[in-house]
């Protein structure tokens, strides 16, 4: 089960109370105040980990709780601070704080999402909720004129709130297009990813990310975004569930069935998908984009490629065949220049 957004409740630990204690020892029956401080409550920390690519674990456990700090003791002993609790999230997790407030006009409760954290780097940590500080023991309240204080302070409550976790896949370039345009096959031929490939629409039901190697210790990442249809920006079809995943792509690669094997017009398909992307996000529509005219080996494809060139004169078009590999070398060289990054080889 792939989960890319979830609502969770998080509560950090409460600080331990300070102690009100008076020393009673041999030859010191009235030794004075010696109450220690309470321990700190545990923090709730998010860690970006490469071993997970879904928020599935929070579907079964949507409560993130840290332990409370312990109460202070006598002889100025501080209470034990609670351990911090670390929860793993995949790279690309966007955290928003859920805030409910009253609408001044209608008086109704309105829910809004406050941006809280954008976790993209593996190994990155973020304190979601801070644990409360421990209270002070009565030893802190001793003065020359107040030698037997009974005052102490309670521990501070830890932070708590409801949060919205949303996963946005991270890739240098993303394949976008209608169902059955050949995006999954393209990803499998250019990278080591093994997406499900079948001859029916919506074969891909979750984003797939693959690494493309260019040689000389260079590589990039490609994402196969599930097929979009008209009305996707209104959450029709897979809609918003997967449009969010192309928000991080630096380059958009629009894959069209140039042969029109399912009776669709590739020019109209591309116009429709471009429109859906633009309606979903103006910012996204301004990203660099290119056209992959797939299935060029099928009869009738070359004529449609000429129509695409006439309609989109300023956009680079790559006639390719994901099935036979025709034109993929040229596409690979182009992607190397655009998204290729040198990585260090571990010895």
Q: Annotate 206-261 with DSSP letters as a single string.
A: S-EEEEEEEETTEEEEEEEPPPP-TTGGGT-TTTHHHHGGGTT-SEEEEEEETT-T
Is 297 assigned to a binding site?
A: yes
* % of the chain at pLDDT higher than 90: 46
Highest mean pLDDT among 104-108, 113-117, 211-215, 315-319: 315-319
Is 147 assigned to a binding site?
A: no
Average pLDDT of every residue of the chain? 84
Alpha carbon distances (Å) from 105 to 108, 111, 112: 8, 15, 16
Q: What is the pLDDT of residue 180?
A: 77
| Model confidence pLDDT, tens digit, residues 150-199 | 899 999 999 999 999 988 777 789 888 887 778 888 888 888 656 444 34
Is 339 assigned to a binding site?
A: no
Q: What is the pLDDT of residue 2?
A: 64
Is 154 assigned to a binding site?
A: no
Report the alpha-carbon distance of residue 66 to residue 41 in Å, rounded.
7
Binned at pLDDT 50, 70 and 90, residue 278 comes out as: confident
Reading phi first (left if > 0) and then psi (alpha if -120 to 50, else beta), residue 327 is in left
pLDDT at 268 over 80: yes
Is 323 assigned to a binding site?
A: yes
Is 204 assigned to a binding site?
A: yes
Is 225 assigned to a binding site?
A: yes
pLDDT at 101 over 90: no
Is 202 assigned to a binding site?
A: yes
Is 100 assigned to a binding site?
A: no
Is 220 assigned to a binding site?
A: no
Is 143 assigned to a binding site?
A: no
Report the alpha-carbon distance of residue 76 to residue 138 in Å, rounded.
9
168's enclosing H/E stretch is none
Is 224 assigned to a binding site?
A: yes
The mean pLDDT value for 307-328 works out to 93
Is 181 assigned to a binding site?
A: yes
Going by C-alpha positions, the residue among 112, 22, 117 that lies closest to residue 74 is 22
| 259, 307 contact by CB (below 8 A) | no
Structure tokens given for 331: 């596409």
Alpha carbon distances (Å) from 63 to 60, 159, 167: 9, 14, 18
Is 157 assigned to a binding site?
A: no
* % of the chain at pLDDT higher than 70: 88
Is 295 assigned to a binding site?
A: yes
Q: Which residue has better confidence, 4 or 81? A: 81
Is the pTM above the cut of 0.85?
Answer: no
């Amino acid at each position: 089960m792939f989960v890319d957004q979830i609502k969770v409740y998080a509560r950090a630990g409460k600080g331990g109370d300070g102690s009100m204690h008076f020393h009673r020892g041999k030859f010191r029956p009235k030794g004075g105040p010696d109450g220690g401080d309470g321990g700190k409550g545990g923090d709730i920390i998010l860690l970006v980990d490469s071993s997970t690519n879904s928020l599935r674990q929070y579907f079964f456990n949507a409560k993130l709780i840290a332990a409370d700090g312990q109460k202070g003791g006598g002889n100025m002993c501080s209470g034990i601070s609670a351990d911090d609790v670390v929860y793993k999230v995949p790279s690309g997790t966007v955290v928003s704080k859920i805030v409910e407030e009253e609408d001044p006009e209608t008086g109704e409760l309105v829910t809004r999402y406050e941006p809280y954290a954008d976790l993209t780097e593996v190994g990155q940590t973020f304190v979601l909720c801070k644990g409360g500080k421990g209270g002070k023991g009565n030893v802190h309240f001793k003065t020359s004129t107040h030698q037997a204080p009974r005052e102490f302070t309670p521990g501070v409550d830890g932070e708590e709130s409801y949060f919205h976790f949303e996963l946005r896949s991270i890739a240098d370039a993303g394949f976008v297009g209608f169902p059955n345009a050949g995006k999954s096959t393209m990803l499998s031929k250019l990278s080591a990813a093994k997406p499900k490939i079948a001859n029916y629409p919506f074969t891909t039901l979750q984003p797939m990310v693959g690494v493309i190697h260019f040689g000389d210790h260079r590589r990039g990442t490609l994402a196969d975004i599930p097929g979009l249809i008209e009305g996707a920006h209104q959450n029709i079809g897979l809609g918003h569930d997967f449009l969010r995943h192309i928000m991080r792509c630096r380059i958009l690669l629009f894959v069209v069935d140039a042969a029109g094997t399912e009776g669709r017009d590739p020019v109209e398909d591309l116009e429709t998908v471009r429109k859906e992307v633009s309606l979903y996000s103006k910012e996204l529509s301004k990203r660099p984009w290119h056209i992959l005219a797939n299935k060029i080996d099928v009869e009738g494809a070359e004529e449609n490629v000429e129509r695409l060139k006439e309609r989109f004169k300023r956009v680079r078009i790559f006639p390719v065949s994901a099935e036979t590999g025709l034109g993929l070398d040229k596409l690979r060289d182009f992607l190397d220049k655009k998204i290729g990054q040198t990585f260090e080889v571990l010895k």
